[in-house]
């Protein structure tokens, strides 16, 4: 059995989802740790303390939807910078303190680790330093890439130190895990990474939590009308997520029924300017009364929203994978999404939803109109979607990742892409 040090410096897997820096990465870290612990491995997830009242360690079995079988995994809060929310761009200044805090904790515990697994570039920086300190292999997962973000939308700007750090990590890490072949190709193209050291492991979905709920019952519990048509967005409130595209598309719909847009995401740390922009845009488009900004929603309640919706829309300019699409499909809800990154893996065009190659409202409106106007097609897509996601069980993800751990621990040659099947 392995003892695994997981680095999630900039965000805790226990943080509420939908905030400024919480999303698929948080879910990934938590669910993978749970699966590894259930298989008998010991997992310490190191994260930066953002609340002075948080205990040093918290078992993930105590988290919402926790499982006693996962008692071998815990979150360790490390003092690095002020114990409060700090903008992600300012966190690089505290990476040294984080690395030192992780090392000090391991010394106090007398803990030695078999492998390091870092998430996001800031954690990767600490991971490379701890790799040198401890003499253990380092597996990096970027989740998003600065160079790709900057190329995805003209207004996006990423600091050069981030891109430089990602290049160094891409060269030095023992393995890089990516969620799609597209991301693997981007790492090779823009970062000169060695393709043989990049393992492709698609993201997972909790099929026990995310499953279809009767639409009428879901709407009743949420206080939504049975007669309205509902489009759902779930994600962080930031320009890269393309909520403006969804609003533009919704304004173009010509439906016999009222069509409402539910936007889930955003907390007090979210970009206030972006939220204001979206509210103003809805008003300018004449659909303000049909758009509800619901803020962050507990992860455990999301199946109700997915099941209540007619379509889940993921209009992102860039997604390394697209966990929201998987969650919606697991609830039997078709997805209309941008044809970017891992979304082209998660969504089967014309079978579980539609993939849109252009980031503008008109083609989204066309496909949304088609689905909203055809109950039978929408139902068929939803049924196929639920079957399709069976192969994305978190257990399959864990087995694939464990195979990579075994390779680097034993010093075996890299095998390149990894695939799993149900």
- Dump pLDDT digits (tens) for 119-143: 999 999 999 999 999 999 999 999 9
pLDDT, position 3 = 97
**What is the distance between the alpha carbons of residues 372 and 398, in angstroms, rounded to a whole number?**
37
pLDDT, position 121 = 96
Fold match between domain 3-204+393-410 and domain 215-391: yes
pLDDT, position 417 = 63
pLDDT, position 411 = 85
Could you tell me the two tokens for 399? Answer: 């087995």
Split at pLDDT 50, 70, 90, the class of 406 is very high
Tell me the fold of 215-391. Rossmann fold (3.40.50)
**Percent of the chain residues past pLDDT 70, beyond the cut:** 92
**What is the distance between the alpha carbons of residues 336 and 392, in angstroms, rounded to a whole number?**
19
**Mean local confidence (pLDDT), 97-105:** 98
pLDDT, position 154 = 73
* Torsion angle, alpha carbons of 303, 305, 310, 311, to 10: -80
pLDDT, position 71 = 80
pLDDT, position 422 = 44
Least confident range of 27-31, 152-156, 357-361: 152-156
CA-wise closest residue to 383 among 349, 352, 343, 419: 352
- With a cut of 70, say whether residue 353 has pLDDT above it: yes
Q: 66: exposed, middle or buried (C-beta count within 10 Å: 0-12, 13-18, 19+)?
A: middle
> H helices of 331-393, where?
343-346, 361-372, 375-388
Query: Residues 405, 372: contact at Cβ < 8 Å?
Result: no
If one compares 170 and 270, the residue with the highest pLDDT of the two is 170
pLDDT tens, position by position, 302-349: 999 999 999 999 999 988 888 999 999 999 999 999 999 889 889 999
Looking at the domain covering 3-204+393-410, what would its CATH class be?
alpha beta
Split at pLDDT 50, 70, 90, the class of 222 is very high
- With a cut of 70, say whether residue 189 has pLDDT above it: yes
Tell me what the pLDDT averaged over the chain comes to: 91
Burial profile 75-98: b = 16 or more Cβ within 10 angstroms, e = fewer: bbbbbbbeeeebeeeebbebbeeb
pTM of the model: 0.89
H/E stretch holding 395: helix 394-410
- With a cut of 70, say whether residue 414 has pLDDT above it: yes
H/E stretch holding 186: helix 181-191
CA-wise closest residue to 247 among 267, 262, 257: 262
- With a cut of 80, say whether residue 39 has pLDDT above it: yes
Phi-psi region of 281 (alpha: psi -120 to 50; beta: other; left: phi over 0): alpha
Give the bridge partners for 313, in sequence order: 336
CA-wise closest residue to 361 among 210, 247, 190: 247
Q: Give me the count of residues in the chain.
A: 422
Could you tell me the two tokens for 129? Answer: 């330093």
- With a cut of 50, say whether residue 418 has pLDDT above it: yes
pLDDT, position 19 = 53
If one compares 155 and 401, the residue with the highest pLDDT of the two is 401
Domain boundaries, the chain: 3-204+393-410, 215-391
Burial profile 190-224: b = 16 or more Cβ within 10 angstroms, e = fewer: bbebeeebbbbbbbbbbbeebebbebeebbeeeeb
């Amino acid at each position: 059995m392995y003892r695994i040090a997981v680095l999630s410096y900039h965000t805790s897997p226990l943080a509420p989802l939908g905030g400024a820096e919480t999303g698929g990465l948080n879910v990934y870290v938590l669910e993978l740790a749970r699966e590894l612990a259930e298989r008998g491995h010991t997992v310490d997830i190191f994260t930066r303390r953002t609340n002075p009242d948080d205990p040093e360690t918290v078992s993930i079995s105590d988290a919402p939807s926790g499982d006693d079988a996962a008692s071998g995994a815990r979150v360790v809060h490390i003092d690095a910078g002020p114990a409060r929310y700090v903008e992600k761009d300012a966190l690089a200044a505290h990476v040294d303190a984080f690395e030192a805090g992780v090392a000090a904790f391991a010394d106090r515990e007398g803990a030695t680790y078999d492998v390091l697994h870092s998430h996001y570039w800031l954690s990767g920086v600490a991971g490379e330093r701890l790799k040198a300190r401890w003499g253990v292999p380092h597996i990096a997962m970027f989740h998003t890439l600065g160079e790709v973000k900057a190329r995805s939308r003209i207004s996006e700007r990423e600091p050069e130190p981030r891109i430089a750090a990602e290049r160094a990590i891409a060269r030095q890490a023992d393995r890089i895990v990516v969620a799609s072949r597209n991301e693997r190709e981007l790492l090779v193209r823009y970062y000169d990474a060695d393709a043989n050291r990049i393992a492709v492991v698609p993201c997972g979905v909790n099929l026990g939590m995310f499953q279809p709920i009767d639409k009428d019952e879901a709407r009743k519990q949420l206080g939504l009308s049975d007669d309205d048509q509902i489009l759902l967005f779930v994600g962080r409130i930031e320009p890269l997520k393309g909520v403006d595209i969804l609003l533009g598309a919704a304004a173009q719909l010509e439906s016999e029924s009222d069509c409402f847009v539910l936007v889930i995401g955003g907390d007090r740390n979210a970009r206030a300017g972006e939220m204001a922009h979206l509210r103003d845009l809805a008003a300018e488009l004449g659909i303000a009364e049909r758009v509800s900004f619901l803020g962050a929603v507990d992860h455990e309640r999301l199946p109700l929203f997915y099941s209540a919706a007619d379509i889940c829309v993921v209009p992102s300019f860039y997604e390394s994978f697209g966990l929201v699409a998987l969650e919606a499909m697991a609830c039997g809800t078709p997805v209309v999404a941008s044809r970017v990154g891992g979304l082209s893996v998660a969504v089967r065009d014309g079978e579980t939803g539609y993939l849109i190659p252009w980031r503008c409202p008109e083609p989204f409106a066309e496909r949304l109109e088609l689905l909203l106007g055809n109950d039978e097609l929408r139902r068929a897509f939803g049924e196929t979607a639920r079957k399709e996601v069976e192969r994305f069980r978190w257990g399959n993800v864990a087995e694939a990742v464990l195979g990579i751990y075994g390779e680097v621990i034993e010093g075996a040659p890299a095998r390149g892409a990894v695939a799993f099947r149900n």
